[in-house]
Amino acid sequence: MTTINHMITNPVLPGFHPDPSICRAGEDYYIATSTFEWFPGVRIHHSRDLVHWRALPSPLTRISQLNMKGNINSGGVWAPCLSYDDGLFYLIYTDVKSRVGAFKDTHNYLVTATDIEGPWSDPIYLNSSGFDPSLFHDEDGRKWLVNMIWDHRKGKNRFAGIVLQEFSVQEQKLVGPAINIFKGTELGLTEAPHLYKHNGYYYLVTAEGGTGYEHAVTVARSRTLQGPYEVDPSNPILTSQGRADLDLQKAGHGSLVMTHTGEWYMAHLVGRPVQGKHCILGRETALQRCAWSEDGWLRLASGDRYPELQVEGPKLELHPFEPPMEMDHFEETELRHDWNTLRIPPDPTWVTLTERPGYLRLYGLESMSSTHHQSMLARRLQAFECEAETCLEFEPDHPQQMAGLILYYDTQDYLYLRVTYHEEKGLCLGIIQSRYGVYDELLEEDIPLQQGNRIHLKAVIDHDRACFYYTLKDNLSSWIQVGEWTDITHLCDESPEYIRFTGTYIGLCVQDLGGSRKHADFDYFRYTLS
C-alpha cells in the first residue's frame, strides 16, 4: 500500500550516530555516520522510505583501511561522506590521530565499492590539511574534494575555511591547486562542507557554531564552483540554539538528498540531553523535510529553522525491515553487525565464537584505560530506558583478572560490574567506576561468589542512572541488586575536562593485566527496551 502522509519519527538513528552523510542510489537511500575510535569504521544504514532503517555491514573492516591502534579518545573516523555516481559508491573519511592543542593530525582517505555491502577497496590517501572531507560529482563528470582547513598558528582562525581541490579518477589522486572558497560566517567554527548543484547554482552546506548546543547549518551559493559564495540571508537554516525547550538539541551538520519522487530532505545530527545538558546516548541522526523558496534558497518545510520530532515523510511506499533480535546466543560463526570493538578489529587471538560453540570467548587483554589492546565487545546504547543481560563463566586466580558487563564512554568514563578474584574471598563481584578519569570502587566490599558458578549479570538503565543485578545457577527469577542506583551523566559528550564526541556503549569485556590472557565465556547477551 502506498501511503502519502506517513511520518518520520526523529531521531531516525537513535544512539551514537553522528555526522550523517545521506545519499541515494536509484530508489535506495543510505546514511553513513561517524564511528570515531570504534571498529569497524563508518556505520551505514539503508532505507527504502526514509522512515525505516536497517544497519548494513560497515565498510572499513581491515587494518589496511583503518589502523586505529593507539588513537586518542574521540579520534579515529570523523564525518564520513558517502556518495554514488555512475554505478560506484565513494566513501571519504578522516582518521584523526591527534586533536588536542594547537595541532590536529587528520588523514583523509577514499575507498570505493560497486556494492554498498562491499567488498570495499583499500584506501587512496588524499590529504591531511583538515577534516570533514566530502566528494562532489559535477555534471561535467569532474570530481572535487572539499574539506575544512585547520590553521594551527597563534592568533589565526583555526577553522580557516573550506578548501576545494579536484580529484582525478584517472590518476587516483588530488590534482591542481587547493582553493579556499568559503571563509565562513560570524557563527564561526566552519566545517562539514557538502556541495550540491541545483537550478544553476552550486550550494555549499556547512556546519558552524561548534558541535554542541550552538550548532547550526549554514548554506551559501554561487553560480560558479570556485565562488564567490553568497551566504543565505536567513542563515542559519537549521539550529536548536536559543530553544532549550526543544527535545532535539545540537541540530547541525546537515547533508541533503533528493528522493526519486523529487522531494528534498536534510539528514543532520542532534542530541537529546537528560537533566537538560547530558547527552548520554551521544549525538544522533535526524531528518527534516525541506523545500526551495521562490528566490532559490533551501528552507525547512516547517517554515522555521528548528528541528522537529515528527516530519512528513516522502511519497514512497512504506518498506519496514525485520527488527534486530534482542537476544544473541552466540550460535553463529561471525559477529552480528551491532557489535563493535575498540580501535582494533576482532580476531581469533582474543575473540572467538568457535572455540566453544554457543559461547563468546574473550581473552583478557589490557585495562579500560588502554588505547591499544582492549578485549571489549560492545553495542550502542540507543534508548533511555533499557536492560542488558549476560551470563559468564570465568575462573580468575588473581585480582588483575576481571570480566563482566560494562557501560563505557571512553577511557576516562565507564561503569563496570565485574567478576574478579580476591586473595581472601576468592571469586567475587563488585563495581568499578571511572568518572572523568577518577577511579573508584562503589561497594564497600566485593560480594563473595561460590567458585565455579555460572554468573548472570544485568544492567538496568533509566535515563540518568543505572543499577546492576546478579544471580547464580541460572536462577533468573531471583535477581539480587548490586549496590545502589548510580548516576551515569558522566557517560556523555559534555565533559568538564575536554571536548569529546562519541556516546555510551554497553557490552562485555575481559582484562588480564598480568598478561596471562585468562579468558571468560559468555553464554548470551540480551538487550531490550524497558
Q: Give the confidence band of 5 by pLDDT, cuts at 50, 70, 90.
A: low
Does the residue 188 lie in any domain? yes
- 263 and 376 in one domain? no
Please, what is the average pLDDT of the chain?
Answer: 96
Q: What residues make up the domain containing 113?
A: 7-312
Contacts 24+ apart (CB under 8 A), 417-422: 417/457, 417/459, 417/468, 417/470, 417/482, 419/392, 419/394, 419/449, 419/455, 419/520, 420/396, 420/446, 421/396, 421/397, 422/446, 422/448
Does the residue 48 lie in any domain? yes
Provide the pLDDT for residue 276.
84
- State the residue for C-alpha cell 559564495: 229
Mean pLDDT of 95-101: 95
Does the residue 454 lie in any domain? yes
- 369 and 250 in one domain? no
Annotated catalytic residue within 191, 208, 393, 410: 191
pLDDT exceeds 60 at position 173: yes
Identify which of 499, 483, 480, 396 has the alpha carbon closest to the alpha carbon of residue 446. 483
Spatial contact of 259 and 275, defined as CB atoms under 8 Å apart: no
- 342 and 297 in one domain? no
pLDDT exceeds 50 at position 1: no
Q: Give the confidence band of 4 by pLDDT, cuts at 50, 70, 90.
A: low
Instruction: Supply the CATH number for residue 347's domain.
Output: 2.60.120.200
- 376 and 291 in one domain? no
Instruction: Supply the CATH number for residue 266's domain.
Output: 2.115.10.20
Mean pLDDT of 206-231: 97
Least confident range of 100-104, 206-210, 473-477: 473-477
E strand or H helix that includes residue 176: strand 173-182
Domain boundary (278, 312, 346) is at: 312
pLDDT exceeds 50 at position 150: yes
Known catalytic residue at 284: no
Q: Measured on CA atoms in the order 146, 147, 153, 154, is the torsion positive or negative? A: positive
Does the residue 1 lie in any domain? no
Mean pLDDT of 381-398: 97
- 234 and 139 in one domain? yes
pLDDT exceeds 60 at position 2: no
- 210 and 119 in one domain? yes
- 182 and 66 in one domain? yes
- 372 and 229 in one domain? no
Does the residue 318 lie in any domain? no
pLDDT exceeds 70 at position 21: yes
Does the residue 343 lie in any domain? yes
Annotated catalytic residue within 19, 308, 328, 464: 19
DSSP summary character for residue 281: T
Known catalytic residue at 334: no
pLDDT exceeds 50 at position 3: no
pLDDT in tens, 154-168: 999 999 999 999 999
pLDDT exceeds 50 at position 18: yes
What span, in angstroms and rounded, lies between the C-alpha atoms of 378 and 510? Answer: 12
Does the residue 37 lie in any domain? yes
- 356 and 227 in one domain? no
- 341 and 301 in one domain? no
Which residues, 6 or more positions from 421, have their beta carbon under 8 angstroms from its beta carbon?
Answer: 396, 397, 398, 399, 401, 427, 428
pLDDT exceeds 90 at position 309: yes
- 344 and 221 in one domain? no
What are residue 339's DSSP bridge partners? Answer: none
Q: Which amino acid, residue 402?
A: M
Mean pLDDT of 451-473: 93
- 149 and 126 in one domain? yes
Identify which of 470, 490, 485 has the alpha carbon closest to the alpha carbon of residue 414. 490
C-alpha cell, 369: 584505560
Provide the pLDDT for residue 453.
75
For the chain, how many structural domains are there in total?
2
Does the residue 241 lie in any domain? yes
